Structure 1
């Protein structure tokens, strides 16, 4: 996504956090495809399980850190600056994925190959693009709560109460709505408590990071050992610990890690990675299934999900860089002007942004 704020106002470790999150998402999909195809070790299923409460809370939290100024904009400006791209990308890439997985066999039963699912996707999304749908709803919901002057403590508390049972396994049968109800609290906390969170993370060093990661590891062992995954509360608490560990890890990498710059750069390019990486994973998986008995494939099987993830992310970024300045093709990652201005007629009816300020704690 676009950065949405000046470089000076945004710390690099936030981008690193998003970079970590998007890599974990890509790894998750790589494991799903490769294990379903029978060309990756089953141990990777356990790896995915470990990061279950790590990926999306970190991603949505990082997405919400600089959202307060965005939701303070008028509705038309909010549409032009943020929502238009999300809606456009969701619709366009839903069609692209529909066509792609009709041509490329998938080892997973994907809903995106069904025409009816494609038609109702804006209201009932059931594909890996659900995070775009969720972000649109998050911005609109946060804006509405701001307009209605709902106190921040009530926003966060209500979202947490809703989130807890979904972390315990409650679901509505829809990946996007389940995700929204589960993760909205992290977006809201980041949005409204940023000025308290950023300085706190800035002050923490390696000892705090080590302690947070150890706390997450111990918490995960306790929750899984005692079978508490479906008990309301423990998984939600574990997600909070995982989020803290992820933020502190990103801050530590920013200080001492040689991969800080590429991770931060990837964190600023989450859209190109997110919309395309599953296509490359699907194509690679289809090819690997045909040579599953090859000695080379067998030799790299223990690390195959990592290799496929890295190739898919690199290919996604390469595709974006190749077409981003080309006529027509640049609209794979950019909303056309007619989409951005579709709600321009309501601009004159809105109050001035200077007449109101967002709700704060």
Structure 2
């Protein structure tokens, strides 16, 4: 099993150019997640966060998670015709990561309070930490089963669009973070999984430059149109297509970059190995908060970026050390456990 977020390039029967481009885009999205958390947790200690940088980070939020969910949905197309056993193992691997890393994240973020077993179990059932994304992928992985059961993809799109609208307009207020995030961004997974087919991707690739410029401009126009209307229905109805325009525009832009160039870039290599960065970066960042650097009054433009790069490199180095020391189970279900129950799963879930 490839050590990355559960979607792998091997699951995608797409041309090499498109695979490399999406790897780079996914790597960029995950790096922006790390950058965001570096600003949140290290800002004020390692460096100052000026107002303009906070605004840029806030603006990137409209494209960061929608793009990641859109790509996750597209890369999940490989399981659309898979057996239920394979879907089960996909979910089991994600659930294993949630089980393993939830205590680590909770303990790393604790500020002196005691973290007990009830707190850990509650967090696993109702995630409020940054691991919500893995929990969301467990839930969204069942979409292929729902579609094969006869539910129209348009019905699913309408349901998730309604959920997203209700959440962006504050008509719904879920009691835990993961449910809120699935409601807000699940629609982009549905679009990527059920609508961003090979024909749509070829259209984006054929006119990549035009779409890469036009779609972000449309997204910017929608963003300006909704300014000052937070919490309203109009704000919600404009926010959803705005994020979709930015996400699809990013896909079009990377498809315009030659694959031979992209394949050599660190960001594309990161896109093929995102899992250790996603699950490890919060404990690493929280560990770095213990180092008091007494941030200077002046802001260095490269300070936050350098910190994000350092965190990413530490996460990747930890994965290499874990694999070398026989601790690969930190990033996927242990092989022996998988082999023991695989026969039972395939027998029960063969269809």
Most deviating of 226-235 and 63-72: 226-235
Q: Distance in 1 between matches of 2:122 and 2:321?
A: 32
1:248-289 alpha-carbon deviations (Å, 9 max, x no partner): 2322345696686322211111111100112222222331xx
User: Which residue of 2 is the match for residue 144 of structure 1?
Assistant: 145
Distance 1:72 1:286, change over 3 A: same
2:254 to 250, 273, 277: 250
Q: Which runs of 5+ in 1 are unaligned?
A: 353-361
1:300 shift after superposition: 4.9
Q: Secondary structure at the match of 1:118?
A: helix
Q: Secondary structure at the match of 2:10?
A: coil
Q: Distance in 2 between matches of 1:235 and 1:273?
A: 28
Is 1:50 equivalent to 2:53 in the alignment? no
1:63 shift after superposition: 0.9
User: Which residue of 2 is the match for residue 85 of structure 1?
Assistant: 93
TM-score where L is the length of structure 2: 0.85
1:223 to 223, 226, 236: 226
Is 1:347 equivalent to 2:346 in the alignment? yes
Most deviating of 35-44 and 66-75: 35-44
User: Which residue of 2 is the match for residue 22 of structure 1?
Assistant: 30
Q: How does 1:128-207 map to 2 (within 5 A)?
A: 128-140=130-142, 142-169=143-170, 170-193=172-195, 194-207=197-210
User: Which residue of 2 is the match for residue 358 of structure 1?
Assistant: none
Q: Distance in 1 between matches of 2:208 and 2:260?
A: 10
User: Which residue of 1 is the match for residue 241 of structure 2?
Assistant: 237
Contact 2:208–2:253 (Cα < 8 Å) also in 1: no
1:23 shift after superposition: 1.2
Q: Distance in 2 between matches of 1:248 and 1:112?
A: 48
Q: Secondary structure at the match of 1:120?
A: helix
1:137 shift after superposition: 0.5
1:233 shift after superposition: 0.5
Q: Distance in 2 between matches of 1:324 and 1:280?
A: 18
User: Which residue of 2 is the match for residue 75 of structure 1?
Assistant: 84
1:26 shift after superposition: 0.9
User: Which residue of 1 is the match for residue 14 of structure 2?
Assistant: 9
Is 1:63 equivalent to 2:61 in the alignment? no
User: Which residue of 2 is the match for residue 317 of structure 1?
Assistant: 316
Contact 2:168–2:184 (Cα < 8 Å) also in 1: yes
Q: How does 1:261-300 map to 2 (within 5 A)?
A: 261-287=265-291, 290-293=292-295, 297-298=296-297, 300=299
User: Which residue of 2 is the match for residue 356 of structure 1?
Assistant: none
Count of equivalent residues: 337
1:150-170 alpha-carbon deviations (Å, 9 max, x no partner): 111111122212212223344
Distance 1:122 1:83, change over 3 A: same
RMSD over aligned Cα atoms: 2.8
1:34 shift after superposition: 2.6
User: Which residue of 1 is the match for residue 107 of structure 2?
Assistant: 99
1:111-170 alpha-carbon deviations (Å, 9 max, x no partner): 995653312122111111110000000002x03312421111111122212212223344
1:229 shift after superposition: 5.4
Most deviating of 35-44 and 245-254: 35-44
User: Which residue of 2 is the match for residue 305 of structure 1?
Assistant: 304
Contact 1:215–1:241 (Cα < 8 Å) also in 2: yes
1:199 shift after superposition: 0.8
1:25 shift after superposition: 0.8
